[in-house]
Amino acid sequence: MNAYRYEQNPLVTPADVKPFHEGYEVIGAFNAGIATYNDEVLMLLRVAERPVSPEPGIVLAPVYDPDTKAVELVRLRTDDERYDFSDPRVVRDVTRSSGFAYLTSLSYIRIARSRDGRHFTIDDKPFVYPSDRHETYGIEDPRVTQIGDTYYIYFSAVSPVGIGESMVSTKDFETVTHHGMIFCPDNKDVLIFPERVNGKYYALHRPTVKSIGEPGIWIAESDNLLHWGNHRHLAGLREGMWDGGRIGGGAVPLRTERGWLELYHGATKEHRYCMGALLLDLNDPAKVIARSDKPILEPEADYEKNGFFRDVVFSCGAFVEGDIVKMYYGVADTSMACAELSLREILDSLTYL
Amino acid sequence: MNAYRYEQNPLVTPADVKPFHEGYEVIGAFNAGIATYNDEVLMLLRVAERPVSPEPGIVLAPVYDPDTKAVELVRLRTDDERYDFSDPRVVRDVTRSSGFAYLTSLSYIRIARSRDGRHFTIDDKPFVYPSDRHETYGIEDPRVTQIGDTYYIYFSAVSPVGIGESMVSTKDFETVTHHGMIFCPDNKDVLIFPERVNGKYYALHRPTVKSIGEPGIWIAESDNLLHWGNHRHLAGLREGMWDGGRIGGGAVPLRTERGWLELYHGATKEHRYCMGALLLDLNDPAKVIARSDKPILEPEADYEKNGFFRDVVFSCGAFVEGDIVKMYYGVADTSMACAELSLREILDSLTYL
């Protein structure tokens, strides 16, 4: 698969983003949802800010307090045996078999704007910031679905009670309406289709299951975008393949002549994140027509291989212009990049079921 | 708390239920949803049937096949080191930190009918049986919400892709309409309120979370009972108390003068299951008014303490008549029982927040 990576890559890096919080450093400006508005390409960046540690051996975990509307810092000692600090992203509770106790950074959404899709100017302030008790550990990995003149923006809402998917909407990228949590924990990687299919809205989502099952992609239906049901399992992991460890929806589904094209991420059990594609029936998106046996994009460039969390390409939004798919994607949990791929080449590369 | 346990307890036991599958034994007739219909009390029993093992050292795991509509038996050797057989209910995969690989029995819903609420006659055949690919390991723990002349019956749908909550409806307990999965995995213990509150339907649900959080009770909203959203965390575990290990909704919420009374189950970390109560605001069920610091019913009778899984009282349905709460409940994951409690005594026993 040919991929034309922009010469300007990475398009936005943490160094380009001024911290919003005093005494913090920006460690990530990545996994951005994508929209076009007023002839501009907008990247809704996930900006991750980390409190600068006051001394070696101390990790500060930021927690938003919805009552005071301020961020409290939980001070943890790296020699505290109750915790495991080996993953730079999280602090684990050693008594729990899975999951984490704290995050080492606080994420929120900030807009970067561009006329040409390659050179971006970053807003001074957050666009969507944690605002309630389900978002005290931050909001992550936004996607944007435009329906008419309304942009629906949904993201992982992280707090000690779980990771769910919450949604806001805007018409102007200034004023925001909050719609609460649309998928309850444990869930992320939601992708709302840009139009109704046979009268219903559809969304992909990725439950993280504990009792039985694996992190696979599901599909749900809605009449109003707020309430979701008729959940059905759509695509699972494939042992030994590029998507054998973890998968989740990526970009908002693209309407093509052959079906709904979903650019999704898959990771191996060794946490190497690639992008591939699912093709879903135009009239029944619960039906998988084809799937990538090999990735359409994998971490090869230095900025994709090295960073806060290495070997990651992770798209949250793409456009189609003629035969060109402009896929924006987060790299190494650090920065943003863009690559152009041929739509026909992607469709021809799929294995049809 | 005074509880009058019926002299007829246990009201239904596995010995009363003729196996539906040839070569199986009924090991549970428990955790029944409750309805009144045509002057009868109906228990929608969860009947669990286990294939009789052909020889020592072999466990047969039943799996429903939606294509053939038959149950296949997976033959497992108890000396197979890939599996852990220590829990009689499940077969665990030793390489997974949580959850299970197979169930040792297949559950479905069967009706027991009574004129007096104490003596029950059990239907010969299943009422709701696994029917799709999300129910291949069975359907469990039904609850029934009557709205007008329609009875909504929802239950845990168990399959290798996860445990979610699916729903059917009926007007006559003969013909059934399927509505698919209303809460995606990992979720169970759904309770739909029997009427709209300020124009919205409400449901309690209990996500099982892996990334972060504990198995707590959440509340969701709907316009049509099929699609659910605005998920909010309602009640968590309480360290060291009777509900410190696990909680979940129990009976369909009862409207009282002081609020919505939810009889819920809680277990200690040692898996002792008791019943207690939450009181929710009549006009805003997302607001907790009061909660039981001590159980309202705990396993004391022999049939509650001994059985397939010991020390369990677990209600899925109750009625109020004047001051009397008739709480039906599963005992020891084996049989059904009923106890009468005073509504006033329950309400007075709560700790108001």
pLDDT digits (tens, 9 = 90+) for B248-290: 999 999 999 999 999 999 999 999 999 999 999 999 999 999 9
Question: What integer is the mean pLDDT of B37-54?
Answer: 97
> What is the pLDDT, as a whole number, of residue A271?
94
**Is A229 within 8 Å of B134 when comparing Cβ atoms?**
no
Cα distances (Å, whole numbers) of residue B198 to A344, B205, B280: 51, 20, 14
* B181, B185, B223 member nearest A230 (Cβ): B181
Query: What pLDDT, on a 0 to 100 scale, did the predictor assign at position A332?
Result: 95
Query: CB of A274 within 8 A of CB of A263?
Result: no
Does the interface predicted TM-score (ipTM) exceed 0.95? yes
Which residues from B are below 8 Å from A230, CB to CB?
Answer: 179-182, 226-227
**Contacting residues of B for A209, CB less than 8 Å apart:** 99, 162-163, 185-186, 208, 210
Judge whether B161 is closer than 8 Å to chain A, CB to CB: yes
pLDDT of residue B266: 98
Q: What is the pLDDT of residues B215-253, one digit of tens each?
A: 999 999 999 999 999 999 999 999 999 999 999 999 999
A213/B162 CB distance under 8 A: yes
> What phi and psi values does residue B168 have, to the nearest 5 degrees?
-130, 170
- Retrieve residue B53's tokens: 């093992």
What pLDDT, on a 0 to 100 scale, did the predictor assign at position B95? 84
pLDDT at B161: 96
CATH of the domain at A55: 2.115.10.20
- With an 8 Å Cβ cutoff, is A104 touching chain B? no
Does pLDDT of B171 surpass 90? yes
Enumerate residues 6+ apart whose C-beta is below 8 A from A339: A3, A4, A5, A6, A9, A297, A327, A329
Compare CB distances from A209 to B186, B213, B230 and report the shortest one's residue. Answer: B186
Number of folded domains in chain A?
A: 1
Contacts of B210 (CB under 8 A, 6+ apart): A98, A99, A186, A208, A209, A210, B98, B186
| Region of residue B180 (left: phi > 0; alpha: psi -120 to 50; beta: else) | left
pLDDT surpassing 80 at residue B97: no
Are B99 and A212 an interchain contact pair (Cβ–Cβ within 8 Å)?
Answer: yes
- Are B141 and B155 in contact by the 8 Å Cβ rule? The answer is yes
| Mean pLDDT of chain B, nearest integer | 97
Closest-CA distance, A163 to chain B, in angstroms, reads 7
Query: Which one of B181, B209, B217 would you mutate to disrupt binding with A, by most A Cβ within 10 Å of its Cβ?
Result: B209
Convert the pLDDT of each residue in A193-234 to its tens digit.
999 999 999 999 999 999 999 999 999 999 999 999 999 999
Q: What is the pLDDT of residues B27-40, one digit of tens each?
A: 999 999 999 999 99
Q: ∠ CA B177-B181-B186 to the nearest 5 degrees?
A: 150
Interface test with B, best of A131, A210, A234, A237 (most B CBs within 10 A): A210
B281 near A CB under 8 A:
no
Cα(B68)–Cα(B133) distance, rounded to whole angstroms? 11
What's the confidence (pLDDT) of residue A96? 81
Q: Checking DSSP bridges between strand A246-249 and strand A259-267, what pairing results, if any?
A: antiparallel
Instruction: Please check whether residue A226 touches B, CB under 8 A.
Output: yes
| Cβ separation B185–A207 shorter than 8 A | yes
Residue B309 pLDDT grade (very low, low, confident, very high; cuts 50, 70, 90): confident
Evaluate if pTM is beyond 0.95.
yes
Task: In whole angstroms, give the CA distance from residue B331 to residue B334.
Answer: 6
A245-293 per-position pLDDT tens digit: 999 999 999 999 999 999 999 999 999 999 999 999 999 999 999 999 9
> A217 CA to chain B: closest CA distance, Å?
10
pLDDT at A88: 85
Do residues A222 and B180 touch, judged by C-beta distance below 8 A? no
Domain holding B190, by residue range, is 3-352
Q: Give the residue-averaged pLDDT of B303-326.
A: 96
Chain A CB within 8 Å of residue B207 CB = yes
pLDDT lower than 70: segments of chain A: none
Q: Does B63 touch chain A (CB under 8 A)?
A: no
Contact B233 A98 (CB under 8 A): no
Q: Helix (H, G, I), strand (E, B), or coil: what is residue A228?
A: strand
Q: How confident is the model at residue B130 (pLDDT cuts 50, 70, 90)?
A: very high
Inter-residue contact B232 to A180 (CB < 8 Å): yes
Contacts of A98 in chain B (CB under 8 A): 97-98, 210-211
The pLDDT, as a whole number, for residue A97 is: 74
**In Å, how far is A94's CA from the nearest CA of chain B?**
13
Predicted confidence at residue A95, as pLDDT, reads: 85
pLDDT of amino acid A308: 86
Residue A122 pLDDT: 98
Closest alpha carbon within chain B to A229: B227
